[in-house]
Chains A and B, each alone.
Chain A
Amino acid sequence: MAYVDAVVQGILLGGLYALFATGLSLIFGVMRLVNIAHGDFIVLGAYLALVVVQATGLHPFASLILVVPLMAGIGYAIQRGLLNRTLGPNLLPPILVTFGLAVVIQNGLLTLFSTDTRRLAAGPIETASLSLGPISVGWLPLATFAVAVVLILGLELLFYRTAMGRAFRATTDDAEMARAMGVNTRHVHALAMALSFAVIAIAGVFLAARSNFDPFSGPARLIFGFGGLGSLWGTLAGGVVLGVAQALGAQISPQFQILAGHLVFFLILAVRPRGLFPRME
């Protein structure tokens, strides 16, 4: 029964990892941009939520009303003002520039907030749980997983059912032809980044409600993305596989938790180097 429990907890943990990874996967899918600063932007979102919560007294989840649009605006501006200039046939320039951004964010946060670890108090939901027979499931992990699924569902609908999604896909397929068809690809790229940052904001608040964070918590959050780059459901599957592997590893020995995750990550890359659900072509 301990293993069943571990699998269930692992699946729910996968929801958090999927939240971390979805914004990264989205950007890679639309413009083949690998955002090395993704984890740092999640931490930036967490600090932004901290500031909003401290200034307004809102509940961390209610602070998303402000944090999501603020982060989306930052994402739009960064893409339009900076990252659009790095896009081209070469994948390297955006990697270098976002690596630089990561350094800037970490040290900026360090200057503003020091190295003290922070946490957002989410209240009773942090410890409340639901009993399912012999297993008890925390409401917060459950909510995290549900939010991840709803977000991915929403993004899928946006991509495949709306005019905006059509422009996203056309730009990914052939940016030059998309321009000839009247699509402003610079705006489309910036919108995709804004969307990614909206998801980052949500991920940041869930991160802050579930664990401590400091200015250097970001890079460790980056790794979760590579289970399903470019495919949104693949991102969720990758998160779940990683979560279950860590939970089962922890059953063997606490030291095994992280190691098991890395081993599975390594195995996936060895067997399916293009991720769990690679795109066609």
Chain B
Amino acid sequence: MSDPILSVHGLNAGYGDFQALFGIDLALAEGSLLGLVGANGAGKSTLFKAILGLLPRGREAVTFAGQPIGHLRPEAMLRLGLALVPEGRRLFRSLSVEENLQLAAQGGRRGDWTVERVFDLFPALREKRHSPSQSLSGGQQQMVSIGRALVANPRVILFDEVSLGLAPIIVNDVYAALPAILQSGISAIVVEQDIERVRRMADTLVCLNEGRVVLAGPSADFTKAQITHAYFGG
């Protein structure tokens, strides 16, 4: 296996005096998909925030493309090639759909993904390009959120609970875009509550419980029962 594009070593992180993550290790191989599962409060979103520098972490705790990035500020991450699709979408409400995308394009790297190509991937967004982002349906907002990561031409995208609050049929639509994204050479970590879906999609699985890695390895190695057991602890 080639060197991982993104790896985390002995990461501790938290909010003030509250420690949420304890010695997390994980490695994302280039071009692969890593599924991150765990109950609410297990530390998945916290891990994303720590990787991106939105929470303090050690200099050597996060390595990206062979370089330690733990000392860098969050605003440097998109330019490096590390993008986030946040939980709850968090579109900028006073920006139009197109402006949301333009902002990310400006902050990211140059490459094949453009605002127009995002409209090709999600045609529903093209006619809404000048609409306020909050006027869109939940599924369309999620498409903007994913598009916002793509136009930055990242090497890694962190997807946080893409399906949260969406109807099952819409979730399928959103995930249908994932193969095309991976084929364009992007690696990804996906946080998802639907364990069966994660096991099908992901090359590697990592399960967190109360801030610790309790299960990690190739998805094919685990049965659903093993994952469920690790998920709930005990």
Contact = CB atoms under 8 A, between A and B. Distances in A.
Contacts of A167: 103
B90 A170 contact: no
B93 interface: yes
A169 B54 contact: no
A177 interface: yes
A170 B152 contact: no
B92 A183 contact: no
A112 interface: no
Contacts, number: 63
B54 to A, nearest CB: 6
Interface stretch (B28-36, B94-102, B209-217): B94-102
Interface residues of A, number: 18
Contact of A173 (B54, B79, B93): B93
Given A166-B102, A170-B103, A180 B95 contact: no
Given A173-B93, A178-B92, 10 more contacts: A163-B102, A169-B95, A173-B92, A179-B73, A180-B54, A180-B74, A180-B78, A182-B107, A182-B152, A185-B75
Given A174-B92, A176-B54, A182 B99 contact: no
Contacts of A173: 92-95
A167 B54 CA distance: 18
Interface string B99-125: 100111011100000000000000000
B148 interface: yes
Interface in A163-212: 163, 166-167, 169-170, 172-174, 176-185
A180 B92 contact: no
Interface residue SS majority, chain A: helix
B203 to A, nearest CB: 25
Nearest to B94: A169
Contact of A166 (B52, B77, B103): B103
Interface in B64-81: 73-79
A233 to B, nearest CB: 16
Interface residues on B, range: 20 to 34
B147 to A, nearest CB: 12
B10 to A, nearest CB: 24
B11 interface: no
A167 to B, nearest CB: 7
A180 B84 CA distance: 7
Interface in A88-115: none
A27 B152 CA distance: 29
A182 B99 CA distance: 14
B38 interface: no
A170 B95 contact: yes
B79 A182 contact: yes
A163 B106 contact: yes
20 contacts: A166-B102, A166-B103, A167-B103, A169-B92, A170-B95, A170-B103, A172-B94, A174-B90, A174-B92, A177-B86, A179-B73, A180-B74, A180-B75, A180-B83, A180-B84, A180-B86, A182-B76, A182-B77, A182-B78, A182-B108
Contacts of A181: 78, 103-104, 107, 148, 152
Contact of A182 (B54, B86, B94, B106): B106
Nearest to B106: A163
B95 A183 contact: no
Contact of B95 (A166, A176, A179, A182): A166
A179 B108 contact: no
B109 to A, nearest CB: 10
Contacts of A179: 54, 73-75
Nearest to B132: A280
A184 B148 CA distance: 17
A170 B104 CA distance: 11
Nearest to B83: A180
Nearest to A176: B54
